Amino acid sequence: MSYLETVPELLEAKEGENVQFKEAKNRFDFGEAVKCCCALANNGGGKLVFGITDKRPRSVVGSAAFNQPERTRMGLIERLRINVDFRLLNYEGKRVLVFDVKSRPIGLPVQYDGVAWIYEGDTLKPMPEDMRRSIYEETGTDFSVTICAGATVDDLDETAIENFRTKWIEKSGKRQLATLSKEQLLHDCGAITDDGVTYAALILFGRNAAIIKYLPQAEIIFEYRSSEASGPANQREEFRVGFFACYDRVWELVNLRNDRQHYQEGFFVFDIATFNERVVREAILNAVSHRNYQFGGNIFVRQFRDRLVVESPGGFPFGITLENILDRQLPRNRRIAEILSFCGMVERSGQGMNLMFELSVQEAKPLPDFTGTDDFFVSVTLNGLIIDKAMLSVINRISERCAELLSTEDFLVIDALYHARPLNEKMQSRLNRLNEMGIVEHIGRKKYVLARSLYAATGKTGVHTRHVGLDRDTNKELLLKHIRQNNEVGTPFKELQQVLPGLNRNQIQVLMRELKANGKVVCKGKTSAAKWFITE
């Protein structure tokens, strides 16, 4: 529905499964908006429009609903775990708010409070079971939902089940879950069915003996190595039990050697852990949710002094690549992912990978590195050392102002600009919005840098000057500006070196030759007495 960009186009659009109109002159219930967006996503994506009547002939009435649309957008993403964007339109002085809802992931219906909503014409209704089954079958059989022949509820660990129950209650607020039998609890989350115990139940709740008997490759191995030398690890623990029985212990092992890094902000000294707990847990959760359990091999968590490597068998799920890993969701083991989402272990927006990238930028650390990943294995390296403490000061300033309003792509733009890396097309599309927010500034042609005010507020204006100076056209403009200001008496070459102290003599000479060839400046005199003037 991307062609519906203007109010006149919206007025002519057909309301139905992909476009919904709400007058909402004063307000609109947020829960109802979540249901509408859920249904649009399950119908292939669409637009939820506020401020236009739904009955024809349509008219623009204007809407005051959701006066902080960015906050509403984040709330929608949090509850639906899909991408949602918005646009504010002004039509004859009336406010029109449009939420652009992306399509559901391949093979996975979008749910709100346990219900997958759809539109049938203009009617909002729960998704029929046959439609849900057909969606699950889009990417083939989900191994984790397959019944494990011979396994019973007695093969599941009581401690793991109770750990899950506690987290589900915390996440949902449903205190009645505490009164359910373990069989009913497992049935309600889909770990067991009327046909038997699923492999998802074994992977998440299985006893040691059951894992060894039915799924020995469902093992997590932790290793700590103090050096790159081959040979036995300094410490090694093997976990052949359900994930809910061991996930806290894996983090405890990582945290045993989790050094603190220090940086100073004014008079205050702050600490940052080398390994961020949320990032580490997300990397492990991704491995558990997405690995191929029909392959041999185990999940490895290898810790070194300054980095952590998480490896899992099976390669990326179908349709997921390094290029789209932050945009698409496709859990290979959907039943496992659903159970993890019930108890809140799947993080904000259902995209743990996004969170890993965002937190890496916020802590001024390298982005997660997938070097070594191929069709049969996924390897992600989390480098824990802070790259640049000056960057950390700038990122903290941004986070204080508007971190909750920034998307993953926004953080990647900030990271790329700070490190003077090129922006891809998607990053470039975020520049205007970041410019309006005062986070970046436009310094000429297609050149953007982080705003000087961010550096100034943290006493790092020299860093801003350094980044601006990296731009060739900007350097030329600085030279022209200085020559223009002194055009009556002329500018000797040694003054030009003062304008750009970061460049050597030869580099400045190259810039001056280019300006001269373009007819911008002229040199009068010879040798050290020569002076530069603006061309009349």
403: left (phi over 0), alpha (psi -120 to 50) or beta: alpha
Segment 57-87, tens digit of pLDDT: 899 999 999 999 999 998 998 888 788 989 8
Helix H, strand E, coil C: the string for 430-480 is CHHHHHHCCCEEEEECCEEEECHHHHHHCCCHHHHHHHHHCCHHHHHHHHH
pLDDT number for residue 59: 94
Question: CA nearest 367: which of 320, 305, 322, 412?
Answer: 412
If you search the block for the tokens 């290029």, which residue do you land on?
323
Segment 405-436, tens digit of pLDDT: 788 888 999 999 888 888 888 888 888 888 88
**Helix/strand/coil percentages in the chain, nearest 5:** 45, 20, 35
Answer whether residue 456 shows pLDDT above 90: no
If you search the block for the tokens 């108890």, which residue do you land on?
343
Confidence of residue 140 (pLDDT cuts 50, 70, 90): low
Strands 123-126 vs 117-120: parallel, antiparallel or unpaired: antiparallel
Which regions of the chain carry the CATH code 1.10.10.10? 472-534
Which comes out higher in pLDDT, residue 379 or 437? Answer: 379
What rounded mean pLDDT belongs to the chain? Answer: 88
pLDDT number for residue 2: 45
DSSP letter string over 336-397?
HHHHHHHTT-S-GGG-HHHHHHHHHHHTT-PPPB-TT-BTTEEEEEEE-S-S-HHHHHHHHH
- What CATH code would you report for 472-534? 1.10.10.10
Radius of gyration of the chain (CA): 28
- Sign of the CA dihedral with 123 first, then 129, 132, and 133 last: negative
Question: Residue 112 gets which letter from DSSP?
Answer: B
pLDDT number for residue 402: 77
Segment 239-282, tens digit of pLDDT: 999 999 999 999 999 999 999 998 877 677 789 999 999 999 99
Segment 367-391, tens digit of pLDDT: 999 999 988 899 999 999 998 888 8
C-alpha 418/C-alpha 439 separation (Å) is 11
pLDDT number for residue 138: 73
The tokens for 124 are 């909002």
* Residue type at position 340: L
pLDDT number for residue 249: 96
Query: Between helices 277-290 and 352-362, what is the axis angle to 10°?
Result: 160
Which regions of the chain carry the CATH code 3.30.565.60? 143-262+274-346
Please tell me the pTM assigned to this model: 0.67
Annotation: CATH topology of 143-262+274-346: Heat Shock Protein 90 (3.30.565)
Which regions of the chain carry the CATH code 3.30.950.30? 7-135
Query: Between helices 334-342 and 158-172, what is the axis angle to 10°?
Result: 60
Confidence of residue 1 (pLDDT cuts 50, 70, 90): very low
If you search the block for the tokens 């770990």, which residue do you land on?
191
Go through 61-73 and write b for each residue having 16 or more CB atoms within 10 A of its CB, e for each that does not: ebbebbeebbebb
Proportion of the chain above pLDDT 90, given as a percent? 49
Instruction: Read off the pLDDT of each residue in 184-191 and give the average, rounded to a whole number.
Output: 95
Enumerate the β-bridge partners of residue 126. 117
Distances in Å between the Cα of 408 and the Cα atoms of 97, 352, 354, 403, 413 are: 23, 11, 6, 10, 9
The tokens for 247 are 């996930």
Question: Residue 115 gets which letter from DSSP?
Answer: B
C-alpha 266/C-alpha 467 separation (Å) is 23
Distances in Å between the Cα of 34 and the Cα atoms of 40, 116, 343, 353 are: 10, 11, 20, 23
DSSP letter string over 47-102?
EEEESB-SSSSP-B----S-SSHHHHHHHHHHHH-S-EEEEEEEETTEEEEEEEEP
pLDDT number for residue 55: 86
Question: CA nearest 487: which of 516, 522, 529?
Answer: 522
Confidence of residue 349 (pLDDT cuts 50, 70, 90): very low
Residues near 212 by beta carbon (within 8 Å), at least 6 away in sequence? 240
Range with lowest mean pLDDT among 273-277, 290-294, 402-406 = 402-406
Q: Is 230 helix (H, G, I), strand (E, B) or coil?
A: coil
Cβ atoms of residues 289 and 331 within 8 Å:
yes
Which comes out higher in pLDDT, residue 192 or 296? Answer: 192
Q: Is 33 helix (H, G, I), strand (E, B) or coil?
A: helix
pLDDT number for residue 4: 63
Answer whether residue 517 shows pLDDT above 80: yes
pLDDT number for residue 146: 93
Distances in Å between the Cα of 231 and the Cα atoms of 223, 234, 256, 341, 516 are: 12, 9, 22, 38, 64
Segment 95-110, tens digit of pLDDT: 999 999 988 877 778 9
Answer whether residue 351 shows pLDDT above 70: no
pLDDT number for residue 376: 87
Query: Between helices 30-42 and 69-80, what is the axis angle to 10°?
Result: 60
Answer whether residue 468 shows pLDDT above 80: no
C-alpha 336/C-alpha 204 separation (Å) is 8
Question: CA nearest 101: which of 246, 2, 216?
Answer: 2
Class of residue 158 by CB neighbours under 10 A (exposed 0-12, middle 13-18, buried 19+): exposed
Instruction: Read off the pLDDT of each residue in 3-21 and give the average, rounded to a whole number.
Output: 84
The class level of CATH for 7-135 reads alpha beta
Answer whether residue 350 shows pLDDT above 60: no
